[in-house]
Amino acid sequence: MSGASFVIEALDGSARTGRLVLGRGEVRTPAFMPIGTAGSVKAMSAADVRAAGTDIILANTYHLMLRPGAERLARLGGLHHFMGWPHPILTDSGGFQVMSLARLRELGEDGVAFRSHIDGSAHFLSPERSMEIQHLIGSDIHMVLDECIAWPAGQDEARRAMELSTRWAARSRRAFADRPGRAVFGIVQGGTYAHLREASARALAGLGFDGLAIGGLAVGEGQALMLDTIEATVAHMPPALPRYLMGVGTPGDLLEAVWRGVDLFDCVMPTRSGRHGQAFTSRGRLNLRNARFAEDPRPLDDAPGEGAAATVPRAYLHHLLRAGEILGAMLLTAANVAYYQALMAALREAIAAGRLADAAAEIREGWARGIDD
């Protein structure tokens, strides 16, 4: 590895637990990264994100390059200083947002030209520019620029995008200047076609990356096909490198992916759901806007270790949400992030003890029992 190290401390079947060591700290794996799109995890302070058990967060290259701007961030001391988060940050490459948000995109071998969804200003993102932006931001883990295609995609389209992404990955790797404590990850593409995933993983494995990500999933293919694709991909990823599943997912998705050997995750779900009145708990998902909670005095979750927000009465959370009070979104977001981190901690402990199967059964049983048991 060029600027980081990954130590696998225990195995339980395909699942593993370990440590990803970066210059700004260690990431205990399997790990969930809350998303700080524009330099903040929405509705949470950096201190509260850390207190929830978070080792690393994700920030968004596309959004930060548009505002406040990568060069401005560099002049202000980098993203860590800017947002008051001295711990590791992974930045995505901007490829997904260019494809999903930007206007008037023109894709070519050199990169992608687009107009900002904010003000219509013109920009060009190449593999080299993406690496430069992430360097200016001060990212601890850089992600290569890749082409993200919509679901469903035919085999020819998936192959074309995968091969372009592989060429871009090689350029990104060359543009990344090896620095102590920092890392660069490649992204395996290929749609849901197992042979394309294998070809992508094998090609990237020879380029000297510090880790590999599984991209292009959770875009509408359904959980069963997603899990099949994860298995087909992991089988060809170097076991010594950390494996990162991008943009996934529900607690159930995380549990299934950890079972299959994935180490890192990110998703907007815990924060976005919290802002919309949804809570993830040891008894499953709750919609706190539902009238059934108007006079429910019980805490959000009766399981220990879910953070201070989880002790707030459900009736109060219901009231805050129905009244449109910002505090409701803040409390639920904090509780959701704490639950995700508690779930990761429980899985790490179970893998280390060689009892992941039992722990997974207990977790699923809790979800199945529901909140009124």
Q: Catalytic residue numbers? A: 92, 266
3-state helix, strand and coil shares in percent for the chain, rounded to the nearest 5? 45, 20, 35
Q: Is 213 helix (H, G, I), strand (E, B) or coil?
A: strand
Contact 189, 162 (CB under 8 A): yes
Judged on CB neighbours under 10 Å (0-12, 13-18, 19+), 21 is middle
Contact 301, 283 (CB under 8 A): yes
Contact 155, 191 (CB under 8 A): yes
Cα–Cα distances in angstroms (integers) from residue 332 to residues 215, 304, 327, in the given order: 28, 16, 9
What six digits make up the tokens of 76? Answer: 């202000």
Cα–Cα distances in angstroms (integers) from residue 318 to residues 155, 247, 273, 291, in the given order: 47, 29, 14, 8
**Distance (Å, whole) CA 136 – CA 289:** 42
Task: Name every residue whose Cβ is closer than 8 Å to that of residue 48 and which is 6 or more positions away in sequence.
Answer: 334
Please report the sign of the dihedral spanned by the C-alpha atoms of residue 68, residue 71, residue 76, residue 81: positive
Contact 37, 99 (CB under 8 A): no
Judged on CB neighbours under 10 Å (0-12, 13-18, 19+), 26 is middle
Task: Calculate the CA 84 to chain-centre distance.
Answer: 20
The verdict on whether omega for the bond into residue 68 sits within 30 degrees of 0, i.e. cis, is yes
* Backbone dihedral angles phi then psi of residue 354, each to the nearest 5 degrees: 70, 30
